[in-house]
Structure 1
């Protein structure tokens, strides 16, 4: 859709006008309409302060649930570790029905080849000690990638291959781009490397010349999902049992995520109207990037976690999320045009509106460990993060998409299970039930908050009060642009009090952020120590609190500026270029694979012994 035709819709003007008006009102407000401007600032800052306090509370709730989930997991690990450490009577039936744990039974002297074979067939970390019933679903992991290092992809897939049920219940869909040189050879190498370690391994190549499509993660995922699902159905997989998980090439997905996913689906009234979303976490290379980049991703992670604690299930996924094949088919998979660049949020919105508000988010309180953008050189790394921020905020297209759909009556699926039409897997549009107005208003508010606050808060928070102070109370009388007799703060006690309240509120605005960072510091250490099994020296230290000194620069450079530009560019006819974030990866694939697993097992054995002793 061209910019000219797009701008005929009033909803398309919201995103560009909001930041432009916020910039215009900074100098003009105190000069032309100071009374109304004071009310505007008071309302904006009060609402902003309320939302930030609310976010701190929700973030704290999410952090407690994450820690509780990890604590429950570790209790299971300790229980299984102790059970397996106890001498067991030799019953052939028992030994045949239970998988042995090499991290507890491994013989260091390797007396027999049989022991070596067992060692290489099991997980190489503490997760291997978790025994639970087989999954009820086939989990298809869609991994979109373009020119990603092959070693990084192997590491990501290896993590999934190490899960207990990978060989029987996992499918890998490598969503590759045909514009990448030798993509097919690369895909086949990966398929051969992981031969027989998954139930299915499918490689798709997304053409770069499909009419109407825009390059990006969304179109890559859409092509991979359509063709990957078609291949699974061709192989005889029941569509009602397939759960699609979209992830990033650098995402480390633990087995606990799949377990909690299964649990949420099992307890759902209708699992095919759920979109399941975990929190994101950055702890893989965070100490190899500039502090400003690290802090930006910390606040990004905290916002995602806060978003998950929504009692109505109206929260957006970020980066990694899961949904059923039934739901993907119901909404005709992912959109692929330029307005769907924010693929995760856009897919949630599409599912919500296409099902007349029946779709809800089920939070999965298992952190997905991601990689910070990283390049060689300090300034190069900062620039790479800025480029990534611009791409993220191009998702502002969802503002218009949400407003248009919120005020359009949809015919959609009836209030019934998608399983009613088992022959095709699709529910027919048989009713005209519509989204409730409360849900519409909530979703609109959340979308506006996600995209309009970043585009306005930086300007207003940093400049509104100082600029108004300068214009209405200049340091030199020669600079006065407003007659003191026309200054409402000097002529009215009411506006003088209102001005004082505005200044007090601006002083209070940073405190919710301080609360968020305090909660995050505790959570980061907890995840590193209790879930990732890192030592104290490998996690955040007190000296890392100095990172937060870069927050003002990071907020302006990676939030306010790119979000404002993304909003204004909605007026342009030029399609935004999609640039993949650069991530350094030290390829260790040349190491002997079996020796590497053995060393890793021994390291994790020591960590498990410490955990059991505790």
Structure 2
């Protein structure tokens, strides 16, 4: 019973909000009485005395409504302000990361030749290395790979993904200078996918020698308590990683094995792994409970999808970016993240049950609670390049409508992660783990709870309040609205206007960062001979970019609030969701023998 109640906390909050509105505005519930229907008798409107009494004094429910609606709107405004601060710092930090690229060292490529790791980004030239901060650039023996290397165990979960999508992702990873010596690739597949063994053989034979190791794992179908999807695939592959490194007597220390989880279509730059390596040794005293997260950026096919889909993905990226400013107490990852093998073992690995469908957030929460709040989160300012959902359509739906439908299904899967609120409630109350009891009301724990509130409560609550206030003020005579309530409607309207302007400023800041990132990636891919990975450049004055400035509230409602309400109400009777693979674009045809040039 307690598990069910905690699972339904977001849904219960929606019901409580509706009850609050009904109690605060009982006259609104009588609107239905004025709707005509056959056989209905005359309706007596409330008397003038009744109206006057309601206007003189505020009920407790009305006072609570005023406080809550102002609080929710202020939270939405502070989100945009925090996001703007994070984006302004993101440009600065990304440039600093690019300047840390080794400019004079070289490493053996898979073919045996040496290739300098010289950045072709617009922020770094060979002559600029002399101006760098020695503390941030010169890592001594670490740059030579002596007594300072780490092994990157990369889990690539996939189920019914196109072969060319996986090949392109692996080609990008294989182009990294340290791939042949430090990258272990684990293709996390589903046993019930009929073509999975064939795809695994093709990929392993094509990329053998480009990585330190590449192998495949197959999550068995029908395991009790588990569902098919990314979380169970990752959980099964992680067990194989543990077995591999524990059985090897000469294996490196588990704290020096960094597990990275990414999506099948994600492209990561060499900077992502170099930065983790740098942070790992820079903060080595806490390396065994470090958690690394990076921002995501949709820079591959965003110019080819409907504006609502583009805005929805933009807001999804903003949700993660908003907590990636310097000094943020804790960061929740989105899609891509890394952690040491020692931490994964300590917390018992990944969960594969239905509550872990949002496996990125769930793993961070699990590490947080299992370590009693001692997990240390680091932001890696090298963005993960992502694709927007793009469908070519089918017999019943065209490309446009099919893409919108596919994006809603993805949004529903994202919002199904509201189950993590229930998980956090149980852990915070010490129901599932006594270690969690000592977290109490620490500031860091409050910050985590606030992020969960913004993810699973704020969008749908704000939408319900906005719709109600619009309807109420439209159909109620202004003279019958209490002055304090009228003030609340006015001030929240002002806050929404300021938030709209602030979000537009955030989009302008995002354009700067996006330009830096996509230009750098384009140069890296050209240098590696991979020109078919997809690039979407943003120009602010183009009509499709200008349209985003006014379309994002609509996209946020359709692909944020509505699927959140859909998911949270569904949790009253089920916690299971059938995992559907999102359709991604294809930029090239499969290549049997990739020709990869090291960066």
Measured against the shorter chain, the TM-score band is: 0.7 to 0.9
Deviation string 1:33-75 (CA, Å, 9 cap, x unpaired) is: 8755553444334323433343334333433443234323554
1:66–1:367 Cα contact (<8 Å) kept = no
Q: CA deviation at 1:306?
A: 0.9
Aligned: 1:473 with 2:495 = no
1:380 corresponding residue in structure 2: 402
Q: CA RMSD in A?
A: 3.3
How far 1:507 moved relative to its partner? 3.8
Aligned match of 1:255: 270
What secondary structure sits across from 2:218 in the alignment?
strand
Residue equivalent to 1:161:
174
Distance, in Å, in 2 between the alignment partners of 1:309 and 1:45 is: 27
Deviation string 1:376-427 (CA, Å, 9 cap, x unpaired) is: 10000000000000000000111111111112174459xxxxxxxxxxxxxx
Q: 1:569 to 1:539 in 2, by over 3 A?
A: same
Kept after mapping to 2: 8 A contact 1:204/1:228:
no
Q: 1:233, CA displacement in angstroms? A: 2.9
Query: Do residues 300 (structure 1) and 286 (structure 2) align?
Result: no
Q: Aligned runs of 1:348-359 on 2, under 5 Å?
A: 348-359=364-375
Q: Structure 1 unaligned segments of length 5 or more: list them.
A: 84-96, 102-115, 414-431, 475-483, 605-614
Alpha carbons 1:313, 1:362 under 8 Å: kept: no
* CA displacement at 1:217 relative to structure 2: 1.0
* Secondary structure of 1:201's aligned partner: strand
Secondary structure of 1:270's counterpart equals helix
1:79-90 matches, within 5 Å, as 80=103
Q: Which residue of 2 aligns with 1:277?
A: 293
Equivalent residues in 2 for 1:196-275, closer than 5 Å:
196-235=209-248, 236-238=250-252, 239-268=254-283, 269-275=285-291
Task: State the alpha-carbon separation in 2 of the partners of residues 395 and 261 from structure 1.
Answer: 27
CA distance in 1 between partners of 2:570 and 2:554 (Å): 23
Would you say the 8 A contact 1:465–1:503 is kept in 2? no
Number of residue equivalences: 530
TM-score when normalising by structure 1: 0.78
The alignment partner of 1:523 has SS state of: helix
- Offset of residue 147 of structure 1: 1.0
User: Structure 2 matches for 1:309-388, cutoff 5 A?
Assistant: 309=325, 311-376=327-392, 377-388=399-410
Normalising by structure 2, we get a TM-score of 0.80
Q: Name the CA distance, whole Å, in 2 between partners of 1:395 and 1:43.
A: 28
**CA distance 1:63–1:499, change in 2 (3 Å):** closer
Partner of 1:108: none
**Displacement after TM superposition at 1:537 (Å):** 8.8
Query: Which residue of 2 is the match for residue 539 of structure 1?
Result: 538
Distance in 2 of aligned mates of 1:494 and 1:450: 30
Superposed CA deviations along residues 360-390 of structure 1, whole A, max 9, x for unmatched, are 2111111110111110100000000000000
Q: Deviations over 1:64-120 (max 9, x none)?
A: 44323432355466x94xx7xxxxxxxxxxxxx95599xxxxxxxxxxxxxx96779
Question: CA deviation digits over 1:195-254, x for unaligned, max 9?
Answer: 111112121000011111122211110001111331233244222321100000011010
Q: Deviations over 1:501-539 (max 9, x none)?
A: 344334434233223222222222232235544999943
Distance 1:342 1:541, change over 3 A: same
2:540 is the counterpart of 1:525: no
Say if 2:107 and 2:177, in contact at 8 Å, map to a contact too.
Answer: no
* 1:183 and 2:196 aligned: yes
Which residue, out of 457, 460, 471, partners 2:465?
A: 460
Shift of 1:23: 4.3
> Residues 215 and 530 from structure 1, CA distance in 2 versus in 1: closer, same or farther, beyond 3 angstroms?
closer
| 531-540 or 304-313, larger mean C-alpha shift | 531-540
**Structure 1, residues 454-509: CA drift from partner, whole Å, max 9, x if none?**
22212222x122222134318xxxxxxxxx7xx452xxx55554454344334434
Which runs of structure 2 are paired with 1:62-141 in the superposition (5 Å)? 62-75=86-99, 80=103, 98=106, 126=120, 132-134=143-145, 136-141=149-154
* CA deviations over 1:2-40 (Å, ceiling 9, x no partner): xx7743x4x334211222343455566323587555534
Cross-structure match for 2:133 = none
Cα distance, 1:23–1:70 mapped onto 2, change above 3 Å: same
For residues 399 and 562 of structure 1, the distance between their equivalents in structure 2, rounded to whole angstroms, comes to 16
- Cα gap change, 1:574 to 1:51, in 2 (>3 Å): closer
SS for the counterpart of 1:555 is helix
Secondary structure at the residue paired with 1:176? strand
Relative to structure 1, the CA distance from residue 21 to residue 58 in structure 2 (aligned partners, 3 Å threshold; closer, same or farther) is same
- Whether the aligned pair in 1 keeps the contact of 2:259 and 2:339 (CA below 8 Å) is yes
- Correspondence list, 1:13-32, <5 A: 13-23=8-18, 25-26=20-21, 29-31=24-26
Equivalent positions of 1:547-558 (< 5 A) are: 547-558=548-559
Structure 2 unaligned runs (5+)? 28-53, 127-136, 138-142, 393-398, 527-534
Output the CA distance in 2 between the equivalents of 1:309 and 1:568: 33
